[in-house]
Structure 1
Amino acid sequence: MEQPTSAAPGHAPAPAPSIPDAGPAAGPAGPAARLGARLGPVAMVVAGGTSVQFGSAVAVTIMPSVGAAGVVALRLAVAAVILLLVCRPRVRGYARADWWTIAAFGLAMAGMNGLFYQALDRIPLGVAVTLEVLGPLALSVFASRRAMSAVWAALALGGVALLSGGGFDRLDLVGAAYALAAGGCWAAYILFSARTGRRFPQADGLALAMAVAALLSLPLGIAEAGGRLLEPRTVALAVAVALMSSVLPYTLELLALRRLPAATFAVLMSLEPAIAAVAGFLVLSQALSVTDALAIALVIAASMGAVRSQGRQARRERSTPVA
């Protein structure tokens, strides 16, 4: 079963509604579902995006004790346990190609999260999300193959140039590289998520891929943090991050997608760099300059423009009669 644009764990959904992404087809019931029932679909999307970015901000507070790799290991392990318990996926009856898809999806997920948190350890949250969103935006532009896509790409590059202040020496180069690499993994995540959604029912594929991502990340987390991973405060914060970045947003997005067009959903999710900047300021005291704010606004505008262009193109293709 395919669904358009759903959030990756701890990240904003891709701004590419014409490229389907298999998000959870059945979300966990409970407080998140009851909260969603009281909200309108737009409020659900904003609440889900806010939860994701504030979850990332909380994750940054754990880094001094366990490092970025330790945070990722805990984050993915807790999320995997939650999803496996909720989905209880079956593991029999699948072909080898199905399991290769799960492995690739899990690898993309592990790379996306691992690189993103390495970036968060070096650059502000808002800047990291802005650079990371360039990966799915590039995928959206390339998939469109329209002249207007060049305008959105140029707008996004203008935002990146502003972030660099005319020279990337203003940014931590390693942190910026990690964020851009995470964006590349995010684009791969979108493609393999779509394949997983076609091959596995409900959210089974997501749960299994999350388990793969957790297994890939645990050795790095253990090597960096060792026994500190099991400290009660660290575990409690990791559980909070997993709930804020997976369970709550997945449920709210699932409910919203039942009542919102995919293009509208993606446009709303294009606001995530701005939400991330607010979360970084409130939780981590990461203030942005006026130039940084303008750069983020340009990337958001490029993302929204690409989404809306693809939406119009898809509507024209559906309305064109087949000869």
Structure 2
Amino acid sequence: MNASLFQRALPFLAVLGSVTALGLGTSFAKQLFPIIGAQGTTALRVGFSALILLLLWRPWRWPLSRKDARAIIQYGAALGVMNLMFYMALRTIPFGIAVAIEFSGPLGVALLSSRRRIDFLWLGLATLGLGLILPLGARAGSLDPVGVLYAMGAALCWALYIIYGKRASHLHSGHIVSLGLVVASMVALPVGIIHAGTALLDWKLLFFGMGIALVSSTIPMSLEMVALKRLPREAFGIMISMEPAVAALLGLMVLGEHLSAIQWLAIGCTILASVGSICTIQARPPVAAAAQQPS
């Protein structure tokens, strides 16, 4: 019984750990913007993440079909562009707003993929929570339009990342993430090098960049693949909506940012959507599972 409960809770715990690490890492990464820009920071983050996971998982040990290689290339390219666009958005719009805009990507995947009425309940709660966080009306006019466009581009790439990641999720998670980040680094490194140049060779920046890579890419990416292998695409899209709520809680605990009643309501909506989605995931029937086993 306890093992069964753990298996059901594992995807939730993986996503929670992922969004927490990502929020902390992004907060640290933004401190590098004045020195090497968003482009250089992205290059350090993605490049070191790829190097660390290559050494950790040694993906060359596993065979890779042409079909799986194509899915990983698509997955990695979406990841690289998503990171670059999101960091570009952070230059001119607040972190929480950029995250809320970016979440239109996974929410769109959840809506288009859903086949059960109960999923629309959790999707509605998540959308309500994000709507309460996202500035609307007169406040929206104060947002930098270029930053908003970058965040919207990141949202599209996040949706593609989920779709392509699910296509390759039958592979070992370390295999997918390590090779995917190699592809992502091929996207981010040239842009970062062109922008920041030799400033990227400062050993202090390299050391700080490695720490950022561990916290904001390596750990979250690995945990997300654990969740993707155990969840339907729509459930993952809803559960990952915890990120704005976790970011708000981290702001309260780490930065001393006090939240309004509306913001606490938004946190409640997104967390309820995440918990509800995992509680209503339908386990695969034993007969169907047996039918898929090789004879």
Instruction: Report the TM-score when normalising by structure 1.
Output: 0.69
Whether the 8 Å contact between 1:57 and 1:280 is mirrored in structure 2 is no
2:187 matched residue in structure 1? 216
Q: Distance in 1 between matches of 2:101 and 2:273?
A: 13
Contact 1:68 1:121 in 2 (8 A): yes
Aligned mate of 2:143, from 153, 171, 193: 171
In structure 2, the partner of 1:272 is 243
1:134 to 98, 104, 121: 104
How far does residue 138 in structure 1 lie from its aligned partner after superposition?
1.9
Question: Which of 145, 169, 172 is matched with 1:197 structurally?
Answer: 169
Inter-partner Cα distance in structure 1 for 2:267 and 2:26? 18
**CA apart distance, 1:283:** 6.3
* Mapped contact 1:127–1:277 kept (Cα < 8 A): no
CA distance in 2, matches of 1:212, 1:220: 14
| Native 8 Å contact 1:70 1:221 kept in 2 | yes
Q: Paired residue for 2:71, among 101, 108, 111?
A: 101
Q: Secondary structure at the match of 1:122?
A: coil
**Separation in structure 1 between the aligned mates of residue 15 and residue 149 of structure 2, nearest angstrom:** 29
Mapped to 2, the partners of 1:97 and 1:190 lie a distance apart of 17
The Cα of 1:123 is off from its aligned counterpart by 2.2
**What's the offset of the Cα at 1:298?**
4.3
Would the alpha carbon gap of residues 156 and 166 (structure 1) be closer, same or farther in structure 2, given more than 3 Å must change? farther
Residue 48 of structure 1 contacts residue 253 of structure 1 at CA under 8 Å; is this kept in 2?
yes
Residues 217 and 285 of structure 1, relative CA distance in 2, 3 Å threshold: farther
Task: State the partner residue of 2:81.
Answer: 111
The one-letter code of the counterpart of 2:160 is A
In the other structure, the counterpart of 1:144 is 114
- Give yes or no for the alignment of 1:229 onto 2:229: no
What's the offset of the Cα at 1:173? 3.0
2:35 corresponds to: 65
> Aligned residues: percent identity?
36
Distance 1:172 1:152, change over 3 A: farther
2:240, 2:274 within 8 Å by CA — same for their partners in 1?
Answer: no
Residue 174 of structure 1 deviates from its aligned partner by 2.7
What's the counterpart of residue 186 of structure 1?
158
TM-score by length of 2: 0.75
Contact 1:124 1:286 in 2 (8 A): no
Distance 1:50 1:237 in 2: 19
Tell me the distance in 2 between the aligned counterparts of 1:172 and 1:122. Answer: 6
- Cα pair distance change 1:286/1:253, threshold 3 Å: same
- CA gap 1:319/1:212 in 2 versus in 1, 3 angstroms: closer
Per-residue deviation, 1:148: 5.0
For residue 121 of structure 1, report the CA deviation from its aligned partner: 1.9
Name structure 1 gaps, 5 residues minimum: 1-16, 18-39
Structure-2 separation of matches of 1:159 and 1:206: 30
Give unpaired runs (5+ residues) of structure 2. Answer: 1-7, 289-295
Aligned to 1:11: none
- Tell whether the 8 Å contact from 1:72 to 1:114 is kept in structure 2 after alignment: yes
Aligned residues: 273
